[in-house]
Amino acid sequence: MIAQLNEGEAPPRVVLEIVRRMEAGQVILLPTDTVYGLHALARNAAAVDRIRRIKRLEDNRPFVNLYNSAVGLGEFVRLPEGSARRRILDSWPGSITWVLPAAEGVPEHIKGEDDTVGVRIPDNQLIRSICAAMNDLIVSTSANRHGNPAASTRYELDPGILEEVDGAVFQVEPLAGHPSEVIRWTPAGPEILRSRDGSSANAQVTKILIVCTGNTCRSPMAEAILRERLKESGGDQFVVRGAGTVASEGHPAEIGAIQAMSERGVELQGHRSRPLTTELMDWADVVLVMTTDHLAELHERFPDYTQKAFLFSAYPEMDLEGIYGIDDPYGFDSDTYRTVAEEIATEADRIVAHLLAGRSGSGDIKGE
């Protein structure tokens, strides 16, 4: 045992001893703001691999990486701009892990799929002091064998784990006892990969992208209605986002759309427009467009993704004879917006029924 500390303590002698050990390639058991964890210097591939062996992991799944502050974090990950960056930074210090694009030069062994890195600034003074002293990331994962529960007190720790680590620090008080929430940032917005209760939220997630022209009228209404319908139906394995073929970044929804949705008890005040990009097309499993004109444009601009693009008012059918889609209410009166909202709601009910049938195994989710 290296030390037993009270919550919030980070004695310099203990910090320096842990730094010395980690820089020598050792694996150290430490309390975090969630559960007890196994820790090592992230850039030391041999130490990270040893953690996998201690946990009895047979795959190369990436671990969470901890750091002391947002200052200098850009050396390891690429943070998004604007409100997305603020949301991430406002969540720290705390128990939320963000999966972000890796910066150039980050070691391959700590990357996840699509060159991403999971990072967190914990609400734990000891660990943040260690990271600050090393000016580096440390890998962190729960101190348990794979498939066994994590430990929130020293007495819940597996004795076998304690025998295999090179040192341990215990906290007098019990830890929070729940794993960190894991959220992936994508061009379409955040995706919850693991919820606060520890359950996986990405095992079979279907990602739906709704496209109109400016992403201020039809697609925001359709996005909101479809998300509500899926939520009401228990369809929690779907992520719905919107974009516009000629949209600019950051514009609010049109007032007519806001009012029409408000009458339905749905909030659109926080909506901000998003342009359609290759990254969004790649992100989506199913792309639902408002008109056949949009469909033709997508086929021309994104020929590699035509198999996942469908007309909103026809999905999942591909035969569009005699069908145009949902007209744009932009510039018309409030009654027109209400009519379009009703048309979208009717189609959304049909789409949700098909999506849930496909999820339950009685049909296929077209586009995936």
Q: Is residue 277 a part of any domain in this protein?
A: yes
How far does Cα 126 stand from its chain's mean position?
A: 27
Angle between helices 218-232 and 255-262 (to 10 degrees): 20
Annotated catalytic residue within 212, 217, 227, 274: 212
pLDDT at 201: 47
The whole-number pLDDT of residue 196 equals 63
User: Which tokens sit at 292?
Assistant: 């056949």
Residue 11: what residue type? P
pLDDT for position 235: 58
Q: Rg of the chain's alpha carbons, rounded to an integer?
A: 24
pTM over 0.75, yes/no: no
Residues forming a β-bridge with 210 = 242, 288
For residue 199, the Cα-to-chain-centroid distance in whole angstroms is 14
Residues 234 and 293 in one domain: yes
* pLDDT at residue number 147: 82
Residue at 196 is within a domain: no
218 is catalytic: yes
Marked catalytic residue, from 218, 227, 229, 241: 218
Burial 264-287 (b: 16+ CB within 10 A, else e): eebebeebebbbbeeebbebbbbb
- CA-to-CA distance for 66 and 160, rounded, in angstroms? 25
Looking at the fold, whether 208 and 179 belong to one and the same domain comes out as no
Digitized pLDDT (tens) for each residue of the chain, 368 residues in all: 999 999 999 999 999 999 999 999 999 999 999 999 999 999 999 999 999 999 999 888 889 999 999 999 999 999 988 888 898 999 999 989 999 999 999 999 999 877 899 999 999 999 999 999 999 999 999 999 988 889 999 989 998 899 999 999 999 999 988 878 899 888 777 888 877 655 444 446 788 999 999 999 999 999 999 988 988 876 567 888 899 999 998 899 999 999 999 999 988 888 889 899 998 898 889 999 999 999 999 999 999 999 999 999 999 888 888 889 999 999 999 999 999 999 999 999 999 998 888 655 544 565 65
The residue range of the domain holding 99 is 3-183
pLDDT at 202: 47
Report pLDDT for 114: 76
Q: Beta strands 116-120 and 64-66: pairing type?
A: parallel
Please tell me whether residues 12 and 153 are part of one structural domain.
yes
Same domain, 160 and 226: no
Question: For position 39, what pLDDT does the model report?
Answer: 98
CA dist 78 and 180 (Å) reads 21
Beta bridge partners of 14: none
24 and 170 share one domain: yes
Domain count, the chain: 2
pLDDT value for 96: 93
Question: Torsion angle of alpha carbons 253, 257, 260, 265, nearest 10°?
Answer: -30
Answer yes or no: 328 catalytic.
yes
Question: Does 212 qualify as catalytic in the annotation?
Answer: yes
pLDDT confidence of residue 68: 94
Alpha helices in 155-291 (DSSP H): 159-164, 218-232, 255-262, 278-283
Indicate which residue of 43, 327, 328, 350 is catalytic: 328
Q: Is the dihedral of CA 94, 202, 217, 215 positive or negative?
A: positive
10 Å Cβ neighbour count for 163? 8
CATH number at residue 229: 3.40.50.2300
Angle formed at CA 315 by CA 218 and CA 366, multiple of 5 degrees: 125
- 106 and 213 belong to one structural domain: no
